[in-house]
Structure 1
Amino acid sequence: MAETRVSRSAPENPVAQPRSSLMPITAGLCAGLVSGLLLRVRTTPDVDLWLHLRIGDLLRSGQRFSEGSDPLASLADRRYVPSQWLSQIGMSAVHETAGMTGIQVLRLLLVLALGAAVLCACRATTGPSPALFATALTMFGAAASWGERPQLAGMVLLALTVALWWQASVRGVVPWAVIPTTWLWTMVHGTWVLGVALGVVLLVGGVLDGCWRGRTAASVACVPAISVVTALMTPLGVSALLEPFRVSAVARLTANEWQRPELDNPVLLVVVLSTVLAVLGLLRSTPRRWTRAITVLAAFALAVWMVRTIAVGAIVLAPALAHGVATLPRRSSPLSAPQGRSPRPVGPETRKTPREWPAWGLAAGLVLVLGGSHIATNDFAAPVSPRASRALSSLPPDSVIAVDGKAVGWVQWAHRDRRPLRDLRAEVYSVPVATAYEAFQEARPGWQEYAETQGLTAVLADRGRPLDAALRGEPAWTVAAEDPDFRLWVHR
């Protein structure tokens, strides 16, 4: 038995190391620059941040979301289940302690952890240089998920789960560490169900490739099932399993990020390019072909399914992408090999080499320096100006207000005595309620009657949206305050 374990852990068809010691450094430079520069793209916080901070504050104060009146939005007609409660409480505590700087530092560290987990997953299939280049592409493809929200922590745990499954398949062992990872993930973000599904995909591929046999295969098959059972052993119980499906069923009807991505979406194009490279790797070499083939199909399906899952597809694809990148300088023809030798197919090389640690350090250092300097030179201001905020505060206490989605979370956090008609939690509204409100925000025919029915007295409208233009033509509405992005309209 011991001899079998040793033979499985030995690298199959090891990747030939590049002769130039500069290649890992170049790859590390590429991975660090891509991640660090992407961190600097946004200078304003994610619009969802404020809502998560508000919910975290409520949870820390003992608020329990039960049936009845919702504490955050007046149109909510379904109960809110805080399926991301651990993340929200953590974000609230960090913000209370260190303010927006603390939130941005937390985001930077999570992005760094995401890159490290992706790199570990890639190293399960190839050497350091291809793994670092693949990490750079993967981080670009996953960049849309880097907002200050629980989803980013979910992506880190997804990448860790990918790494654990791939490392286990290479070594022929049972990925027991996936179980506690999933248990933690259940309390962090609803994407944990995708992690379980991914485990099943990699289990099937690994069995077809002969990575696990006999009792070991039976034990590996238990990991996804046990993960689901332990996920139910959290404060939410069965709701932890049901809530992700309930959220997705409603959000797909109204939320843009739950819609199918446009073909010109830049991160989708990067994932498509990565898919092509992974397919080339499939055509050029044989190790773990079933695992890589099924992974490529699953990742591509996730990427084109909806905007929200492009990042998921990029992370799932990473190990197969790394294998494909490793095949690029090679030729499938025996003529490309030196005389008397046949070309070596690309395979896993999980043992760390001394010269790759500087490359890892360079990549991490660039992320920290570029991301840290961005935090130091930006204030990540609120979406609404102080003038408009003061005007909101001066509204009568019984005002009925509608707030654009880009600012509603901030209004709920900064003006806690206000309860907008609707907020960003798509799952707490029935379809008729959600679609009627969307029609109002788009100023479709009948929007005036909707405003009268709801008794609206104030609207914080995005200056670039149809509702703002429609309000300009209504003499009963006047501007109380405005800034470059929003106008506060009040009913006379």
Structure 2
Amino acid sequence: MTERAQGEPRFPLLARAYAPLVALLLTALLTALVRRPLRAFDTYFHLRFGEEFRRDWSIAHPGQLSSASTNDWVPTQWLSQVALARIDDSSGTTGLVLAFAAVVVAFVAATYLLLRRHAGPGIAITLTVVVVLGCLPSLSLRPQLLSYLFLVAVLAAWDGARTTGRPPWALIPLGWLWATCHGMWLIGVAACGLLAVLVVVERRPRRTGALALLAVPAGMLLAALVTPVGPRLLTAVLLVNSRADYFAEWAAPELITVAAAPVTVLAAAAVLLLVRRTDVRPYDLGLLAMGGAFALYSDRTVPLALVTLAAVVAPGLSRWSAHRPVARTELAVALGLAAVVIAVAPNQGLVDDSADRVRPFTARLDALPAGTRVLTDWPVGGVLLRLDPGLDIPLHGYGDVYTDAELERYADLDHLEPGWDRTLAALAPGAALLPNDAPLAYALERDGWSVEQRTEELVLLAPPAS
């Protein structure tokens, strides 16, 4: 019996079949996922805001959809909102599904290729699956999905610069695009700055080379500040920190849960693998620190943490298996599977549409006079913004348009905190569409509001005639 060559797998047939099988399972998962582009109510208010920008809103000084919100807000994702509204207007739900499928597939494929640079197909596809599983709660048709894709581009660009020493100038126009598409553009600039410093520390180029590398994040920042919104983008991003108390996505995540298992496992694996390595360099430690910061900052940045930590884990695991460059056949298979997901997407029925629970009330809502103010919670209000633009929806979940005082008042209204009745009187709604189990719905019924229609989830209430 001949001795097995170093680096050769113990079961070569299983090793060759493993990556294609996992790739097929991932394709099936993505095919199921793209049936759920509208599961987040945010998609609907993004469509409404995009439509307003297409009509007459100024990007520099946009308007308001209700007198119940008065903040002098700054649009941080106007281009993606306009694009969504155009797609919806021209191609309807089919176009939205295709757009969602295309961006999701691009994100997954880019993640795989990033990891494949440092690991074999089996390790790269396994880590990609872990990343996708961890991202599932965040994958819906919202502008933030572009931020996940753009971060992969930043990581890939600096991974290449680490090898070649050449500045990734393409990130500068990406900075402009990112700043028009989503508010996490500043995180991308910060990540770019950290990685640029790490590459300089690791490669120790001459002064001109170092300055060229450091010019990339500076160029990204400048490009972001010359968008149609201008320097006000910086103040808009800093405002987000004051909103974490009102929107769960910006609160710190709970990492000791089943849902957080993928990011927790990747973080633990990254630490253990770096401890065991003897060739750890500043860049590796910087990636670990960045991934940990993303994991701790908020629920919305957990997908960024997953990608970053997977990029730390991949080189460590590759030491235990043979690593070969991407072959043309492998690339062709990946492109073929991606094409399958996109081609199948519009031919499936949608599920988990957040508007489905609102649609039974359409007839009664349409019968209300134009401009009627309808009291809702954030999710229902977000959907109604798009489904019935003739109504005045004071609460809809797009936090940028509210002042901190308004957010506090509306949170107190939702929880029946002292002063809620004064807020209700100031809003003077002509109807209310609320969850059946909402304390506010119970309080309104107790105070004489009549039930106009009820489903298992929502109740439509009318105020007393007086």
When the two structures are superposed, what TM-score results if normalisation uses the length of structure 1? 0.84
1:453 and 2:446 equivalent?
no
Q: Shift in Å at residue 443 of structure 1?
A: 2.6
Pick 1 or 2: higher relative contact order, CA cutoff 8 A, min separation 6. 1
From 84, 88, 101, the equivalent of 1:108 is: 101
The one-letter amino acid of 1:482's match is R
Corresponding residue for 1:27?
Answer: 19
Corresponding residue for 1:190?
Answer: 183
Q: Shift in Å at residue 471 of structure 1?
A: 2.8
1:158 and 2:151 equivalent?
yes
Within 1, Cα distance between the matches of 2:51 and 2:328? 46
Corresponding residue for 1:235?
Answer: 228
1:402 and 2:402 equivalent?
no
The C-alpha deviation readout for 1:102-123, integer Å capped at 9, x for no partner, is 1111111101000121122213
Please list every run of 5 or more consecutive structure 1 residues that lacks an aligned counterpart in the other structure: 1-14, 331-345
Instruction: Find the residue that maps to 2:64 and give its secondary structure.
Output: coil
Kindly indicate whether the alpha-carbon contact (under 8 Å) linking 2:381 and 2:396 is maintained by their aligned counterparts in 1.
Answer: yes
Which deviates more from structure 2 when the two are superposed, residues 33-42 or residues 464-473?
33-42
Q: Shift in Å at residue 300 of structure 1?
A: 1.5
Pair 385,184 (structure 1): closer, same or farther in 2 beyond 3 Å = closer
From 482, 485, 491, the equivalent of 2:454 is: 482
* Identity level (%): 27
Q: Shift in Å at residue 21 of structure 1?
A: 6.5
Within 1, Cα distance between the matches of 2:428 and 2:26? 49
Kindly indicate whether the alpha-carbon contact (under 8 Å) linking 1:280 and 1:324 is maintained by their aligned counterparts in 2.
Answer: no
Instruction: Find the residue that maps to 2:245 and give its secondary structure.
Output: helix
The one-letter amino acid of 2:250's match is W
Kindly indicate whether the alpha-carbon contact (under 8 Å) linking 1:124 and 1:166 is maintained by their aligned counterparts in 2.
Answer: no
The one-letter amino acid of 1:26's match is Y
Pair 95,323 (structure 1): closer, same or farther in 2 beyond 3 Å = same
Corresponding residue for 2:71?
Answer: 78
The one-letter amino acid of 1:483's match is T
Query: Where does 1:241-256 land on structure 2 (aligned, <5 Å)?
Result: 241-246=234-239, 248-256=240-248
Kindly indicate whether the alpha-carbon contact (under 8 Å) linking 2:144 and 2:182 is maintained by their aligned counterparts in 1.
Answer: yes
Please list every run of 5 or more consecutive structure 2 residues that lacks an aligned counterpart in the other structure: 1-5
Kindly indicate whether the alpha-carbon contact (under 8 Å) linking 1:205 and 1:294 is maintained by their aligned counterparts in 2.
Answer: yes
From 328, 353, 370, the equivalent of 2:327 is: 353
Instruction: Find the residue that maps to 1:253 and give its secondary structure.
Output: coil
1:202 and 2:195 equivalent?
yes
The C-alpha deviation readout for 1:262-291, integer Å capped at 9, x for no partner, is 234444221110112222321333445321
Within 1, Cα distance between the matches of 2:8 and 2:214? 34
Alignment: residue pair count: 456
Which deviates more from structure 2 when the two are superposed, residues 218-227 or residues 478-487?
478-487
Corresponding residue for 1:444?
Answer: 417
From 415, 429, 432, the equivalent of 2:402 is: 429
1:121 and 2:114 equivalent?
yes
Within 1, Cα distance between the matches of 2:315 and 2:405? 48
The one-letter amino acid of 1:75's match is A
Instruction: Find the residue that maps to 1:484 and give its secondary structure.
Output: coil
Pair 225,379 (structure 1): closer, same or farther in 2 beyond 3 Å = closer
Corresponding residue for 1:305?
Answer: 297
1:57 and 2:29 equivalent?
no
Within 1, Cα distance between the matches of 2:218 and 2:207? 18
Kindly indicate whether the alpha-carbon contact (under 8 Å) linking 2:413 and 2:420 is maintained by their aligned counterparts in 1.
Answer: yes
Query: Where does 1:337-348 land on structure 2 (aligned, <5 Å)?
Result: none
Kindly indicate whether the alpha-carbon contact (under 8 Å) linking 1:463 and 1:487 is maintained by their aligned counterparts in 2.
Answer: yes
Corresponding residue for 1:469?
Answer: 442
From 446, 463, 466, the equivalent of 1:491 is: 463
Kindly indicate whether the alpha-carbon contact (under 8 Å) linking 2:277 and 2:316 is maintained by their aligned counterparts in 1.
Answer: no
Kindly indicate whether the alpha-carbon contact (under 8 Å) linking 2:59 and 2:228 is maintained by their aligned counterparts in 1.
Answer: no
1:226 and 2:219 equivalent?
yes
Kindly indicate whether the alpha-carbon contact (under 8 Å) linking 2:73 and 2:236 is maintained by their aligned counterparts in 1.
Answer: no
Within 1, Cα distance between the matches of 2:439 and 2:224? 44
The one-letter amino acid of 1:225's match is A
Within 1, Cα distance between the matches of 2:325 and 2:110? 16
The one-letter amino acid of 2:413's match is F
The C-alpha deviation readout for 1:12-40, integer Å capped at 9, x for no partner, is xxx95768375365234325524642663
Corresponding residue for 1:293?
Answer: 285
Within 2, Cα distance between the matches of 1:197 and 1:35? 33
Which deviates more from structure 2 when the two are superposed, residues 125-134 or residues 186-195?
125-134
Within 1, Cα distance between the matches of 2:393 and 2:414? 13
The C-alpha deviation readout for 1:315-361, integer Å capped at 9, x for no partner, is 2223112123324x47xxxxxxxxxxxxxxx9xx6842345335534
Kindly indicate whether the alpha-carbon contact (under 8 Å) linking 2:263 and 2:305 is maintained by their aligned counterparts in 1.
Answer: yes
Within 2, Cα distance between the matches of 1:119 and 1:324? 16
Corresponding residue for 2:264?
Answer: 272
Instruction: Find the residue that maps to 1:459 and give its secondary structure.
Output: strand
From 16, 26, 41, the equivalent of 1:47 is: 41
Instruction: Find the residue that maps to 1:77 and give its secondary structure.
Output: coil
The one-letter amino acid of 2:40's match is D
From 169, 173, 178, the equivalent of 2:171 is: 178
From 272, 275, 279, the equivalent of 1:283 is: 275
Q: Shift in Å at residue 230 of structure 1?
A: 1.6
